[in-house]
Structure 1
Amino acid sequence: MMNPHASTIIITSLIMGPLLTISSDHWILAWMGLEISTLAITPLIAKQHHPRAIEAATKYFLTQAAASTLILASSITNAWQTGQWDITQMSNTPSCVILTTALAIKLGLAPFHFWLPEVLQGATTMTAMILTTWQKLAPLSLLLMTAQSMNTPLTVTLGLTSIIIGGWGGLNQTQLRKIMAFSSIAHLGWMITILTLSPKLMMLTFYTYAIMTSTMFLMIKLLETNKVSMMMTSWTKLPMLNATMMLILMSLAGLPPLTGFMPKWLIIQELSKQHMYFTATTMVIMSMLSLFFYLRTSYQATITLPPNSTNSTQQWRHKPHQSFYLTPMIMLSTTLLPIVPTLLTII
């Protein structure tokens, strides 16, 4: 167990780090927020005192430190050339390329994604949830603030590569956390593709992704499953929750009429307006790869039953579970599609 005082400091730093980055307009303050966030999450990854957890924490720290160094280098180069430390005044082209690379490393975008599946596999389920949702907020906010300076062909290339790698990499995975890691890479690909064309749509995509991913991780935590093969036996623990998991997975895949279809529909619509038909078609086709492993996980969780030596299909002795917080999240993860007309007036 972690010292309560240390836990308080870590959780406070974990909250304050991204908030400092989001609210700052100076590169030094934004960099400080990123560093606070990195230093806060590293002990949470390593708290299991297992060799794999220590390895994951080391990989995460080294990767994030290298990316932060590149961010500092890009901001110094831009200030040297233009005299501006303002985040929104990133006008130097080499600085923009370095910054895009650094933020891609921080987010885990392909081809800088190699650390993400390994780190999630070494972390606990709840820490993995924080890594794939809250920890993405600060780098994405920097991308949002510098969107007007970003190179569109570069961001689209990173996005398409991430969608392809995210789908391809998840095909042969048996660990649920690694599957969620490649799912995260693919979703980040959709976000980075639309970044320069519609920043508001990118943030909408992130919010829906964060809701669906958090719901999925909370379900994995509640069912106490780590592998796809364990999904078969989880049916006897909480049948209704297991059935609902299929809906969340289909929402992550972007199937209508679920929430996950909403951002993908709007992104394809925006790309079509910009006459980027090849990009839109490639994204839709490559999403079929992700759909395959979502369907495979759903099949294992809801359709396949394990060999049973008893006459009862359910466990007669259940552990008490407090899952009241899951109900609103499941509703948000599956039923937000009807609000699209309202969102179109905003975006």
Structure 2
Amino acid sequence: NTLAIIPIISTLHHPRSTEAATKYFLTQAAASAMILFSSMINAWNMGTWDITQMSYTPSNILLSLALALKLGLAPAHFWLPEVLQGSTLLTAFIITTWQKLAPMSLIYMTMNNLPSAILLMLGLTSSAIGGWSGLNQTQTRKIMAYSSIAHLGWMAMIASIMSNIMIMNLVVYLMMTTALFTSLICSKSKTIQDTATTWTTSPTLTIIMMLTLLSLGGLPPLTGFLPKWLVLEELIMQNLTPMATAMAMSALLSLFFYLRLTYTTTLTLSPNTLQMKFKWRFKPTMPFMMVTLSTLTIFMLPLTPLILL
């Protein structure tokens, strides 16, 4: 998986993309070595190489930290924004969606053995740092990197409590991130200033981008409210009310920079196009996948009872 994505990151033949590929390789190789080392320690002490049957506590602690490094959970998150900034939008989309599936599947298989306290602290710090660090960003790829860190924090928070909510959270995150990255790729928006000029060429795409951003922020009428609602409800049922309060407060930080993006995208006066035969910018096309995922990202909240059943 790691070896397959490195040529994709370095396709630009630019020093920044080469640096991003090197950082990605070093972090993923170190995390893989930590996973192998944890399984080796467990085999030495317990006599089994089965990763789902790890009962030696130091091995479980090392495995949880290795998976945090692979995913980009805080405080092992420093590589993710830099790698995404040195990549194209399409490569950043692959890193924040497809590349998260393998570590999340490992968490799902070993969640009964991973220390709950470490997962809770990783989730809380990731949600807080992801929201706090994204406040002063102007590049859309770095904003999406910190958005990914914050959402992965919510998944790590609920992983040791209820696995079904974690899987549902992952599916909703993949849908919302795919919809937003598709909108950014179609509009070729690499900075916040680029999103302000989208309205003149494609108002529909701009509206979809605005609603997707609000859904990522977790506002109640939209799909993004569903995972946050269920996670907070489960935390309160497990008598983790202070943790639920801290997660809700950290969600406000993420909501702030989503609202800032929404403001610059739709609520500011964009430059008007010239009254001439040839436009200075072509109208972006809207692929079928983006329309479908955007619809699910916006209107899936009423299906919550069916999902819970």
- Structure 1 distance, partners of 2:270, 2:171, is 36
How far off is 1:315 after superposition?
4.7
- Structure 1 distance, partners of 2:240, 2:304, is 22
How far off is 1:286 after superposition?
1.0
Normalised by the length of structure 2, the TM-score is 0.96
Which deviations, in whole Å up to 9, do the C-alpha atoms of 1:152-181 show, x marking residues without a partner? 111111100000100000000000000000
Q: What is the aligned-residue RMSD (CA, Å)?
A: 1.5
Hey, what does 2:28 align to over in structure 1?
A: 64
Hey, what does 1:176 align to over in structure 2?
A: 140
User: Structure 1 residue aligned with 2:288, among 302, 311, 324?
Assistant: 324
Hey, what does 2:10 align to over in structure 1?
A: 46
Task: Answer whether contact 2:89 2:181 (CA < 8 A) is retained.
Answer: yes
Secondary structure of the residue aligned to 1:258 is: coil
- Structure 1 distance, partners of 2:273, 2:48, is 71
Unmatched segments (≥5 aa) in structure 2: none
Instruction: Indicate how the Cα distance of structure 1 residues 329 and 149 shifts in structure 2: closer, same or farther if over 3 A, else same.
Output: same
Normalised by the length of structure 1, the TM-score is 0.86
- Structure 2 distance, partners of 1:234, 1:216, is 14
Instruction: Indicate how the Cα distance of structure 1 residues 146 and 320 shifts in structure 2: closer, same or farther if over 3 A, else same.
Output: closer
Instruction: Indicate how the Cα distance of structure 1 residues 344 and 211 shifts in structure 2: closer, same or farther if over 3 A, else same.
Output: same
How many pairs does the alignment contain? 308
Hey, what does 2:119 align to over in structure 1?
A: 155
* Pairs within 5 Å for 1:189-338: 189-308=153-272, 310=274, 315=279, 318-319=282-283, 321-338=285-302
How far off is 1:107 after superposition?
0.2
Task: Answer whether contact 1:109 1:189 (CA < 8 A) is retained.
Answer: yes
- Residue 122 in 1 paired to residue 86 in 2? yes
Instruction: Indicate how the Cα distance of structure 1 residues 302 and 56 shifts in structure 2: closer, same or farther if over 3 A, else same.
Output: same
Hey, what does 2:51 align to over in structure 1?
A: 87
Residue 216 of structure 1 aligns to which amino acid in structure 2? L
The worse-fitting range, judged by mean Cα deviation, of 331-340 and 303-312 is 303-312
Instruction: Indicate how the Cα distance of structure 1 residues 327 and 153 shifts in structure 2: closer, same or farther if over 3 A, else same.
Output: same
Which deviations, in whole Å up to 9, do the C-alpha atoms of 1:309-342 show, x marking residues without a partner? 7469x95873562522211111111111112112
Task: Answer whether contact 1:152 1:196 (CA < 8 A) is retained.
Answer: yes
Task: Answer whether contact 1:236 1:315 (CA < 8 A) is retained.
Answer: no
- Structure 2 distance, partners of 1:187, 1:205, is 8
Unmatched segments (≥5 aa) in structure 1: 1-36
- Structure 2 distance, partners of 1:286, 1:123, is 28
Hey, what does 2:19 align to over in structure 1?
A: 55
Residue 294 of structure 1 aligns to which amino acid in structure 2? Y
